[in-house]
Amino acid sequence: MDIDFSALVLAAFRKEALRRLVFSRPEEGEITKVTGRLCAHRGRRVLALEETLPGDTVAQRNIKEEDAEAEVSRLLALYRQCNLLTPLGDAEYKRSKDGKVTVLGGEKLSRRLSGETPAFVSAVESLDKQKHYFLDGDEPFLYTLGISDKTGRVHDKMQGKFRQIQRFLEQIEEIYPRLPKSGTITVYDLCCGKSYLSFAVYAYLTKKKGRTVDMLAMDRKRDVIAYCERCAKDLSYTGMRFLVGDIRELSGEGRVDLVISLHACDIATDIVLDTAARLRATVILSTPCCHRYLATHLDAPSLSFVTRFPHLKNKLSEVLTDALRLAKLEAEGYRVSAVELTDPEDTPKNTLLRATLRSDPDPAAKETYEKLLVFLLGDGKDTYLKDIL
């Protein structure tokens, strides 16, 4: 009997028996492998696919149940092998170069799937993140910084800031495996302002993770640094240091494990990222603020249909500025990404630029960055940020 492999996959999906689906041996293209698993997302079953791209990067997408069979059929046309793994047995689809299709284990699995509901634990995995709060509200530093009261209740006007800190600590948890496994963790908060992140990250790493931390927070405002020093003294946070000055003057002596920055205004973010890359920081987490600089230098005739409208030009400049920043970090040897830090209702400045050091500076990525400058700035490419960095 001929087995319709797409229908077989769908039957396993509907029985909640689909453990894993692997498409391999592509006919062509850069996606070397696609894996799938049965998941639940927002109360609905989905086929969660992961596509392996060059450089071991992975793209993810969710396929609705009603679209699953068509998507599997599409992928079967692109890949010459597919393995279906279930608790009831496995099946393998193979297509030779001359187009001959063979399905191994398909009939047996089809019979088992068409029988009584099998007695096994459902394969459905939830994709919806469980709420995990890194702070309870009663942490001493939150009271000292005026975020919560003595009882641990977060002040109404500071709820957005509290959520922002929570989300940032989620990012710290994600990159934690990249930090040293033992010894002291060196953290720099550049253009630190009131150092909300400095105190949060220090408390998290020392109290929750039990680590020794050397935290340097730096800003040009003397009164702000004096305030932060008083707070650290009140909290007995002996591993925190505060410095008044220009971060561009920081020396490259010693290892820097993590650089963080929250809402450094406009070009200050560029200075933060440039300094972090110069120091060869292992991980960089930075949330930009305003993006005025590029808007005044943009010279891209092919984008004039957008830039002729001032409001849209400013919006476009925000995206392009952060994209340029990431491209420059790639040229410096970093693997980069941009993620939403917090709800836009809390603050419109909710993009987090994330970079992890992977190699020495990359000449090919630098060439790409230079081409982007030419496209966006024309003759102004040679002076972009040169007077600042």
| Residue 331 pLDDT grade (very low, low, confident, very high; cuts 50, 70, 90) | very high
| pLDDT tens digits along 51-96 | 877 665 677 888 998 999 999 999 999 999 999 988 888 899 999 9
Alpha carbon distance 243, 343 (integer Å)? 32
The whole-chain average pLDDT of the chain stands at 86
pLDDT at 199 over 60: yes
pTM: 0.66
Residue 133 forms part of a structural domain? no
Q: The domain spanning residue 159 has which CATH number?
A: 3.40.50.150
- For residue 119, what pLDDT is reported? 45
Residues 94, 210, single domain; the answer is no
Residue 132 forms part of a structural domain? no
Residues 319, 290, single domain; the answer is yes
56: buried, middle or exposed (CB in 10 Å: 19+, 13-18, 0-12)? exposed
Residue 88 forms part of a structural domain? yes
Q: How many domains does the chain have?
A: 2
Residues 156, 114, single domain; the answer is no
Residues 78, 147, single domain; the answer is no
Residue 38 structural domain: 5-126
Q: Which amino acid is at 138?
A: D
Residues 120, 153, single domain; the answer is no
